Amino acid sequence: MSLDPRAGEQTRTIYEKSVAGRRAFTAPECDVPEIAVEDLLPDWARRTEPAALPEVSEPEIVRHFNGLSKRNFDLDTGFYPLGSCTMKHNPKLHERVAALPGHARLHPLQDPEYAQGALELMFNLQSALGEIAGLPHVSLQPSAGSHGELAGLLVTRAYHEDRGERRTKVLTPDTAHGTNPATVTMAGYEVVKVGTAPDGGVDVDDLRAKATDEVACLMLTNPNTLGLFDSNIEEIAAIVHGVGATLYYDGANLNAVMGISRPGDMGFDIVHFNLHKSFTQPHGGGGPGAGPIAVSDRIEPFLPRPQVVRAASDNGHGPRFDLDFDRPQSIGKLRGFQGNFGVFVRSYAYIRSLGAEGLREASETAVLNANYLRALLAAPEIAEHLPVAFDRTCMHEFVLSGSGAKEQLGIRTLDIAKRMLDHGVHPPTVYFPLLVDEALMIEPTETETKETLDEFAQIVADILAEAAEDPEIARNAPYTTPVRRLDEAGAAKNPVVRQPAATDS
């Protein structure tokens, strides 16, 4: 047994801890006749060998997963400036209210008459999101941002087909999130890239050249993935609408503009929200999220079904809420049931906690924090190695280029990121957007204190100063994490994606 505290015990899987005969589950007593399974299921249907699940006791399960949890870094533990991911505080109240039995134990097919509280919550959330987007009609159904994008392109297709038009192309900026082009293909369109102008915005001349009547949609993020607000947005909208296409807003960056500027007022036709970004749903290590969409009047008939609707009372009591399936032009369902309701509860609680003023202040503070950190990182000893990619006032995030550090110090962005792990902070998003060499994309969010931002800037300065002395330290980082750099190429070459089948029984 190794004495290294990072080796041994912690890396055994639950299957490797399995001992035949151990168990945690006690089945409820069988209170109905114990008819032999062979008499109820024909031979061809019966499983002969049980699934090789682990055999472990409850205390062992608890220790196993608690042990694993300690090998994760998380937002409640430290600074997480992961660009484009909006790692803002996840209020604890939300977990409590989401767990109320009236929410958590409500069956999705409960008759609407017996689910009025849930439907009212969804209706209120739809209304609030519509107001924030400046687009009145909301479908809560999509499960995440990428699902919302797909919904957006499918309603675009339905809109054009309804007009007897067949369009084949969708424009995306070369700074777009990877989900945008992937969605375009899944929705049956061809991706056409639009260039970026020297100021970081859409290259309007390039857009004009590519905007033809074959184009169905332009997918845009504003502020964009460089953290810059595109002040040509009205001209862009006019060009897109001029050829009959729709303008789609990727809401990944909505946290910059809540209550300040609305996508609908900018000319967008369709918006998706990432409730797990701007609206505090915890990320869960990779989900769950939710990706509602808001649309304009002309797109409304094509929204997924069912829609939550409010009807006037028929008995003198309050309004009555219902699910409307009778939507003949709808694109149909995108998933089962009504969407990720547990996420809606949390986001609704957030919106009711903050109100109009609080949401605006959240965005203002997010932008203040980002610009403050940008200013701190513009200190000459940092900026000479990590210059900001576009030297403008940013919105909620900004992008540095590590090209200087690579040339002058011999360390890459990856090395800087890995060295940050030893300092107890999560690194920014790295190597995105693609058009910035050795990119570091930093989004501090509104929930961080000035002191945290000061400390982060100091960490960056320390890492660069250390590398000037000895670049090997960063090149071999991290040192203090549960494991060090992992062989990702080897993992992909010979994929081991499950525990080998156990030999004992």
Partner 1 sequence: MSRYTSATDADRRAMLATIGAGSVDELFAEIPASVRLDRPLDLPAGMAEQDVAGHLAELAARNVDCDAETSFLGAGMYDHYVPALIDSILQRSEFLTPYTPYQPEISQGGLQVMFEYQTAISELTGLAVSNASVYEGPSAVAAAAYLAKLETRRTGLVVSRGVHPHSRETLATHAVGYGMTVSEAGLDAVGATDVDALAGLVGDDTAAVFVQQPNFLGTVEELGAIGEAAKRTGALFVVAADPIPLGILEPPGALGADICVGEGQTLGNRLDFGGPSFGFFAAAERFIRKLPGRIAGETRDVDGRRGFVLTLQTREQHIRREKATHNICTAQALNALAGTIYLSWLGRRGLVELGELLLRRTHYARETLGLEAINPGPVVREFAVRVPDLDAAVQRARAAGINPGYRLGRDYPELGDGLLVALTERRTRADIDRLAAVLGGVREEAPA
Could you give the count of Cα atoms lying within 13 Å of 126 in the half-sphere of its Cβ? 23
Distance CA 463, CA 411 (A): 10
The reply to whether 356 sits near partner 1 by the rule CB under 8 A is yes
Among 166, 178, 238, 472, binds partner 1 (CB under 8 A): 178
The reply to whether 93 sits near partner 1 by the rule CB under 8 A is yes
- Contact indicator for 143, 290 with CB cutoff of 8 Å: yes
Among 126, 139, 183, 196, binds partner 1 (CB under 8 A): 183
The reply to whether 319 sits near partner 1 by the rule CB under 8 A is no
Stretch touching partner 1 by CB under 8 A, among 209-217, 308-316, 338-346, 383-391: 338-346
Among 171, 308, 417, 436, binds partner 1 (CB under 8 A): 417
Distance CA 226, CA 442 (A): 10
Stretch touching partner 1 by CB under 8 A, among 202-210, 211-219, 467-475, 497-505: 497-505
Give the nearer residue to partner 1 in terms of CB position, either 252 or 464: 252
Q: Which of residues 2-61 bind partner 1 (CB under 8 A)?
A: 6-7, 11, 13-15, 18, 22-25, 27-28, 30-35, 37, 40-42, 44-48, 50-56, 58, 61
Q: Per-residue DSSP letters for 276-296?
A: TTTT----TTT------EEE-
Q: Which of residues 204-233 bind partner 1 (CB under 8 A)?
A: 228-229, 231, 233
The reply to whether 66 sits near partner 1 by the rule CB under 8 A is yes
**Cis preceding-peptide flag for 288 (omega within 30 of 0):** yes
The reply to whether 195 sits near partner 1 by the rule CB under 8 A is no
Which tokens belong to 417? 């990121």
Q: Which of residues 238-267 bind partner 1 (CB under 8 A)?
A: 257-262, 265-266
User: Least CB distance from residue 410 to partner 1, whole Å?
Assistant: 19
User: Least CB distance from residue 405 to partner 1, whole Å?
Assistant: 19
The CA-to-CA distance between both ends of the chain, in Å, stands at 26
Among 335, 437, 462, 465, binds partner 1 (CB under 8 A): 335
What is the 3 state secondary structure string of 421-476? HHCCCCCCEECCCCCCCCEEEECCCCCCCHHHHHHHHHHHHHHHHHHHHCHHHHHC
Distance CA 356, CA 361 (A): 9
Distance CA 154, CA 302 (A): 9
- For partner 1 (CB under 8 A), the number of binding residues is 206
